[in-house]
Structure 1
Amino acid sequence: MTDIRFTRTDARLGTFAVRDVDPLADAVTLHRWVTHPKAPFWLMQGASLTDVEREYMSIAASAHHDAYVGLHEGVPSFLVERYDPAHVELKGLYPAKDGDIGMHFLVDPAPADGPLHGFTRAVLTTVMAFLFADERIRRVVVEPDVRNTAVHALNEAVGFEVVEKIAKPEKEALLSVCTRASFQAAAAATQGGAR
């Protein structure tokens, strides 16, 4: 198993951690997540197990894209992808700045113990804390599908601001950014009881 890269303790939900994806060892779990009917915005609904293995081997080999499995109390529970938006996903679609990092995340759509209240927000907070743990990162950039209203609300809750609608080959997206200061302010507001 790969080493843990980051950990965070949530006062209510316990310990979250992030480790590298192992494209072969994690393929069955990732395939279940990315092809689940509740994960249509991941755009892998028809993917085979081999497709998933190849996708994550390709990411592992990339100089501009990384994938991680997120753990909750030691159990694989979410997927994170981090990418350089000047080279991947958003290349040529917005003016990338030094210190920008792109991100995707996916929570296990069918956890064995059922959903936990506030879990997805805790996952996104963990993902953002993980990304900003790298001092070189100044902004996190995302491009969710315009129809994904649930993630728009979550993004806003952790400090993202919508910049503009952009047309990508596979979707119309809401380009949104979150600065370190915006994330810290949102996290402080949550800890202060403003949920």
Structure 2
Amino acid sequence: MPPADEHTGAGTGPASQAGTGAEDTLDLQLPDEFLALFGEDKPATVTPKPIPASLDGPLSLKESLARGGSTSTEGEDVSTGTVADAHPNQGPGTPGVASRLESDLLDNPAEWRPVTTPAGVFQLVPVRLERDLAVISRWMNDPAVAAFWELGGDEAVTAAHLRPQLDGDGRSVPCLGVLSGVPMSYWEIYRADLDPLARHYPARPNDTGVHLLIGGVTNRGRGIGTTLLRAVSDLVLDNRPQCARVVAEPDLRNTPSVSAFLSAGFRFSAEVELPEKQAALMIRDRAHRAQL
């Protein structure tokens, strides 16, 4: 499935696409007390609150964070993102509750704040298909990425990969990784315990998985993959208090990706045979977070 690292930064390819398939997902029941909070009927969704679709020039850090993004210093001039309204006080049957219910499976990544890393200010911005499809499809057609993600081709191929996540129940959230104001990576944050991956390892409740690809060649081979993997796994642990482990399953052939996970504080847990690949099960434990 994804990341790039100090050497290639292209990412592990989700040939098995854990966390993304609409048809091949585990049909787990939500707890009764959870469903009782929202009632049985599915309410209307909330309209997202937009932030700038693209950056025409550099913003100051203060201006950028005020808009929900980060500063722009170099690289491609493509879109930033949106932040959805949370509506924390709404009850069943009111606008936004369906969106809340879906977001709660991952504790609403749209609201996770930017973080400062050694590479710059970084933020996960949930994908909007009409805005982000072209750039993600371009990244998927990079030979180094396509070798593992297997999503090369026209934009319809990438769209078919994204739509089940965007139209699903919130167990997998595709995001752009925006570094210093520039979208430069693609991420999938997903509930590994609700994913087909859970059939292949001893999953625990609220295990959270990550997939990553680094989009631009200039951002590969410089340790940025390692830096961002640590930052994103920290974001997961900071924002998902019930998650005790962040997991990943890079292709064993993708040595730079496995190396990036190890350098980011993950440990190699097992070799796992998935339907389309032999994977290295990588785990970052909350309990050992300070030591690794």
Q: TM-score range by the shorter chain?
A: 0.7 to 0.9
Tell me how large the CA RMSD over aligned residues is. Answer: 1.8
The answer for the alignment partner of 2:199 in structure 1 is 92
State how far apart, in whole Å, the 1-side matches of 2:273 and 2:242 are.
Answer: 28
What secondary structure does 1:90 align onto? helix
The answer for the alignment partner of 1:192 in structure 2 is none
Note the C-alpha offset of 1:38. 1.5
Which of structures 1 and 2 has the larger relative contact order (alpha carbons within 8 angstroms, sep 6+)? 2
Residues 183-194 of structure 1 mapped to structure 2, 5 A cutoff:
183-186=289-292
Residue 117 of structure 1: which of 198, 206, 222 is its match? 222
Residue 34 of structure 1: which of 122, 134, 140 is its match? 140
State how far apart, in whole Å, the 2-side matches of 1:50 and 1:86 are.
Answer: 29
Note the C-alpha offset of 1:116. 7.6
The answer for the alignment partner of 2:235 in structure 1 is 130
Residues 59-98 of structure 1 mapped to structure 2, 5 A cutoff:
59-63=165-169, 64-98=171-205
The answer for the alignment partner of 2:76 in structure 1 is none
State how far apart, in whole Å, the 1-side matches of 2:287 and 2:198 are.
Answer: 25
The question of whether the paired residues in 1 share the 8 Å contact of 2:192 and 2:198 is answered with yes
For residues 118-174 of structure 1, the C-alpha deviation after alignment (integer angstroms, 9 at most, x for no partner) is 322221122112211221211011111111111111111122122211111111111
State how far apart, in whole Å, the 1-side matches of 2:177 and 2:270 are.
Answer: 29
Residue 25 of structure 1: which of 131, 135, 150 is its match? 131
Q: Percent identity?
A: 26
Residue 275 of structure 2: which of 151, 169, 172 is its match? 169
User: Number of aligned pairs?
Assistant: 182
The answer for the alignment partner of 1:106 in structure 2 is 213
Q: Which runs of 5+ in 2 are unaligned?
A: 1-80, 84-109
Q: Residue 7 in 1 paired to residue 107 in 2? A: no
What secondary structure does 2:114 align onto? strand
State how far apart, in whole Å, the 1-side matches of 2:249 and 2:222 are.
Answer: 25
Residue 250 of structure 2: which of 127, 135, 144 is its match? 144
Select the structure of larger CA radius of gyration.
Answer: 2
Amino acid at match of 1:92: R
Relative to its length, the structure with more strand (as a share) is 1
Moved more, 77-86 or 137-146: 77-86
Q: Which runs of 5+ in 1 are unaligned?
A: 187-195
The question of whether the paired residues in 2 share the 8 Å contact of 1:138 and 1:179 is answered with yes
Amino acid at match of 2:143: P
Please report the TM-score for the alignment, with normalisation by the length of structure 1.
0.85
Please report the TM-score for the alignment, with normalisation by the length of structure 2.
0.58
